[in-house]
Amino acid sequence: MSLFWQELKKIWRPGILVGIVLLGLIYYYMFPSFYIEHFSNGAYAQDEFGLSVEWVEQYGPTLEPEERAELDSRLAEEIAIFDRQLEEIPEAAAVGVTGYDSFQIFSSQHDHDEIEIQAEWKIRNRTNCDTISTIQHMLERYDASRDYLRQHGYFEFYTAKEQEQILAVNSWPRSLLSGSVMDSTDYYFKYLAQWTAISVILLLSPTLVRDRLRRTRSLQWSSRRGRWVLHTQLTAGLISALLLSVMNVTVYAIPFLAQGPLALKDCPLGNSVWAGGTPWFNWTYGQYLIILTGMVLALGIGIGTVTLFLSRFSDNYVSMLLKAFPLFVVMGGFFATWVVDRAFFLRPAWDYAEFYVSKGAEAVCVAVLLIVGSMLTGWSCLRQRRLEC
């Protein structure tokens, strides 16, 4: 056990940790912090999120037809509030806006002069017109025919299996999960997965290279216990990858959950009253967060195994750096972000791709990474044992 703790100390060196923390802070404020500061980005998205939380408290995670009928009166109340707010804006009457109907006509015109443009922005900023628009669009979507998908030409571009899934999801109860929350979740988890990959590579890359440069192996071979040190080093490295991944998830979870998305944790992923995608599985949003978190942790371990393998067969820091750079690009820049980007949803394999990701392909890819990493580390131990015989 003392040897194991010594190997952990060699991995978690203060200089490396300080470097990872500083880079992590820079990375966070450059990328994912935007999706905390602008959670549910935009006035429409904020209204959508607020209404979702309010209606979940009132109706539960789904909206039934009899409950939808109550929202007509809510829309009428919001319009009445708009009319009262309009009375406090003298510029509105000056441009002929006396109610919500006249405001819709006015805002749809494109030949406004400067005075009319200023009046329109004052009305938008000082009234609840965005809330009204949000409710109207939701009701239109809710009332749309269940067969409206078949009427669109793009529906025919899907395979029979994909069409079947789209229609199946469209028959689920209408979820109140906010589409803007899903967008924020997707982007935030992509950056979390990317940083997890980068930080694990930074932490583990120097581990075994340092022993080779200091000729530690020749000293270890002098004892029977020392000849098994590679197993201990790999175990310490994998545990370190898991610990660092857990730390990343924890640090990223605190500001994200503080925005209140767990108010929608029981809402199904599919068939939302708001805009949304087509999931392959009938999970709730809370279950989806747990699954994504598990995938990020698995990514950290899988990438850790590959990093340890490359470090094991690097003669110096330069050669390891040459291996680490493409590992950054492939694992951090592409693979980690691709795996969690709209994971388990019907989506193109990449932008503008003509074919879509198969059901559960993301989990298969992570599993393959773990298997390949296990094989590489196992082969390293076997090779080392043969050399010592």
Question: How many Cα atoms are found within 13 Å in the side-chain-facing hemisphere of 177?
Answer: 29
**d(C-alpha 126, C-alpha 85), whole Å:** 7
pLDDT of residue 117: 81
Nearest to 128 by CA among 94, 90, 100, 95: 100
pLDDT of residue 231: 78
Residues 6+ apart with CB under 8 A from 320: 205, 206, 209, 310, 311, 314
Torsion angle, CA of 51/55/56/60, rounded to 10 degrees? -160
How many of the other CB atoms lie within 10 Å of CB of 115? 11
Nearest to 314 by CA among 330, 325, 302: 325
Nearest to 181 by CA among 36, 299, 305, 29: 36
pLDDT of residue 150: 56
- The reported pTM is 0.89
> Quick check: 286 and 177 in contact, CB under 8 A?
no
What is the Cα 368 distance to its own chain's centre?
Answer: 21
**d(C-alpha 82, C-alpha 123), whole Å:** 9
Residue with tokens 């109340």: 77
Nearest to 374 by CA among 311, 313, 312, 301: 301
Instruction: For the chain, list residues with pLDDT below 50.
Output: none
Residue with tokens 């935009």: 42
> Quick check: 88 and 126 in contact, CB under 8 A?
yes
- Look up residue 30 and give its amino acid: M
Tokens of 21: 């923390």
pLDDT of residue 277: 86
